[in-house]
């Protein structure tokens, strides 16, 4: 964990200095939120329908903007040959993987929270009653999403066509996560509370755990060479 | 530390990029790898470093022995300062005092607050060499370490090599370079690699050969 922390700290320092990850992510998220809000606002006047549309829009924005982040976050490490370096200097590649999962989780959590509030404001949807459940859900889904995305990015990092390959591999694998999170957030907003979600929540926790374990156990094996 | 290499071949996209004859390096030994561009010097160093694995043949290094590699740009981030790099290396279990010692030998403290993107090529090389020497590894691998260094930097590098020898008498050093004379202070075994892989040299000799 000590090495993971050092690697995370390095990512954080680079981000605080350049804002290279957060600013583009935030800009695209705001633009998407505004586009969707304008479109929905012009076509849908029923408040109940707006509330229902809020969830798929929010999670679609999360997935689209998040999938942009992975290769960018790994880029400076690719240039510095960090993964090769881990094998040379005897640093566990799993530490490197965990540092990326933590960094991307923090990045996407902050960005999505901002998008959620902005979208709610523009669609006139109140989050006041549900914010605790929403934050818990966001935390859970971001961990699973970052764990899977970081694993796949490490896998194709040195591939010549990684920009094309990444969404082709990553997005289809997100369907279970996507459906689970939409179902859960809909139930939260109608029935209230995470506890009333049942099976979908178990699926989401299971997926996040499997993705994280997959990365921890296999990242070193798949990135060797 | 003993290094044993049995005839290795490495292919990239079905193309043979390295064909290296078998050789051994005894504890405290030094190896100077020379050859034309494309002869596989960097690939050989990466194989010895454990960053790549051979398609044929093997590299044997005793269990538990540490390795360090210098390559241009290796473990360097343009938006971090020199002192942040040193702190980063310490966080990754580099020995603080050894790292400090080599950073002083390379005179890096003058640029502690400078970002790597603002450094000249020579100073980036010095930072990279500081990281490699500062790891205090049993096997030290340097890829074209003189490239970009001025006279003062070259003097510092030879001083670091002497210091490494004193500190780690059983450690091995492998250097890829075109400048054989400079490294004669290590009395290295000479391994010439050939760019035309089918005519790869089948033997190696001493520094004077």
Q: Which of B53, B84, B92 is the closest to A225 by Cβ?
A: B53
CATH label of the domain that carries residue B61:
3.40.50.300
Would you call A17 an interface residue with chain B, using a CB distance cutoff of 8 Å? yes
Domain count, chain B: 1
Domain count, chain A: 1
Which residues in chain A are contacts of B50 at CB distance < 8 A? 87-88
For residue range B90-126, list pLDDT tens digits in order. Answer: 999 898 999 999 999 999 999 999 999 999 999 999 9
Tokens found for residue B145:
């370490």
Which residues in chain B are contacts of A224 at CB distance < 8 A? 53
In this predicted structure, what is the pLDDT of residue B202?
45
In this predicted structure, what is the pLDDT of residue A211?
93
Contact criterion met (CB below 8 Å) for B154 and B146: yes
Q: Which residues sit opposite A211 in a β-bridge?
A: none
Q: Domain span at residue A95?
A: 2-223
Beta strands in B101-163 (DSSP E): 139-143
CA–CA distances in Å: residue B38 to residues A44, B44, B207: 64, 11, 22
Q: Domain span at residue B115?
A: 3-206
Q: How far is B207 from chain A (nearest CA, A)?
A: 27
Would you call A92 an interface residue with chain B, using a CB distance cutoff of 8 Å? no
Pick the residue with more confidence: B198 or A201?
Answer: A201
In this predicted structure, what is the pLDDT of residue A9?
94
Q: Residue B196: pLDDT band by 50, 70, 90 thresholds?
A: low
Q: How far is A94 from chain B (nearest CA, A)?
A: 13
List of residues 6+ apart from A192 with CB closer than 8 A: A129, A130, A133
Q: A85 vs B77: CB contact, 8 Å cut-off?
A: no
Q: What is the pTM of this model?
A: 0.88
Q: Which of B69, B73, B79 is the closest to A88 by Cβ?
A: B69
List of residues 6+ apart from B153 with CB closer than 8 A: B106, B122, B125, B126
- pLDDT tens for the 225 residues of chain A, in order: 889 999 999 999 999 998 888 999 999 999 999 999 999 888 888 888 888 888 889 999 999 999 989 999 999 899 999 988 899 998 999 999 999 999 999 999 999 999 999 999 998 888 888 888 889 889 999 999 999 999 999 999 888 898 899 999 999 998 888 888 888 888 887 766 666 677 888 888 999 999 999 999 999 998 885
Q: How far is B111 from chain A (nearest CA, A)?
A: 18
Contact criterion met (CB below 8 Å) for B67 and A88: yes
Query: Is the interface score ipTM higher than 0.85?
Result: no
Q: A5 vs B91: CB contact, 8 Å cut-off?
A: yes
> How far apart (Å, rounded) are the C-alpha atoms in residues B17 and B24?
21
């Amino acid at each position: 964990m000590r090495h993971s922390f050092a690697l995370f700290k390095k990512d954080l320092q680079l981000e605080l200095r350049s804002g290279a990850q957060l600013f583009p992510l935030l800009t695209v998220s705001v633009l998407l939120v505004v586009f969707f809000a304008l479109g929905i606002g012009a076509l849908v006047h029923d408040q109940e329908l707006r509330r229902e549309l809020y969830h798929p829009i929010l999670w679609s924005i999360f997935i689209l903007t998040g999938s942009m982040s992975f290769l960018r976050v790994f880029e400076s490490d690719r240039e510095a040959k960090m993964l090769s370096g881990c094998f040379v200097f005897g640093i566990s590649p799993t530490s490197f993987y965990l540092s990326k999962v933590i960094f991307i989780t923090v990045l996407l959590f902050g960005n999505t929270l901002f998008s959620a509030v902005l979208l709610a404001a523009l669609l006139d949807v109140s989050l006041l009653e549900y914010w605790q459940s929403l934050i818990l859900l966001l935390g859970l889904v971001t961990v699973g999403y970052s764990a899977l995305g970081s694993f796949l990015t490490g896998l194709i990092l040195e591939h010549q066509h990684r920009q094309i390959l990444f969404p082709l591999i990553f997005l289809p694998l997100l369907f279970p996560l996507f459906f689970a999170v939409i179902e859960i957030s809909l139930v939260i907003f109608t029935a209230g509370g995470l506890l009333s979600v049942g099976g979908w929540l178990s699926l989401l926790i299971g997926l996040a755990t499997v993705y994280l374990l997959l990365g921890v156990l296999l990242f070193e094996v798949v990135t060797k060479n | 530390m003993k290094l044993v290499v049995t005839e290795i071949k490495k292919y990239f996209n079905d193309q043979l990029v390295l064909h290296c004859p078998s050789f051994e390096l005894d504890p405290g030994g030094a190896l100077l790898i020379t050859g034309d561009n494309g002869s596989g010097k960097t690939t050989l160093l990466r194989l010895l470093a454990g960053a790549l694995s051979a398609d044929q043949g093997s590299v044997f290094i005793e269990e538990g022995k540490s390795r360090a590699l210098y390559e241009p740009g290796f473990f360097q981030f343009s938006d971090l300062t020199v002192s942040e790099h040193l702190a980063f290396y310490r966080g990754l279990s580099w020995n603080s005092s050894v790292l400090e010692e080599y950073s002083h030998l390379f005179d890096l403290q003058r640029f502690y607050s400078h970002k790597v993107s603002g450094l000249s090529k020579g100073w980036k090389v010095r930072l990279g060499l500081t990281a490699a020497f500062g790891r205090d590894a049993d096997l030290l691998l340097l890829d074209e370490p003189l490239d970009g260094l001025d006279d003062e930097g070259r003097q510092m590098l030879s001083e670091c090599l002497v210091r490494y020898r004193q500190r780690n008498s059983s450690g091995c050093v492998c250097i890829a370079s075109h400048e054989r004379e400079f490294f004669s202070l290590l009395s290295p075994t000479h391994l010439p690699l050939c760019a035309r892989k089918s005519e790869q040299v089948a033997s190696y000799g001493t520094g004077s050969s």
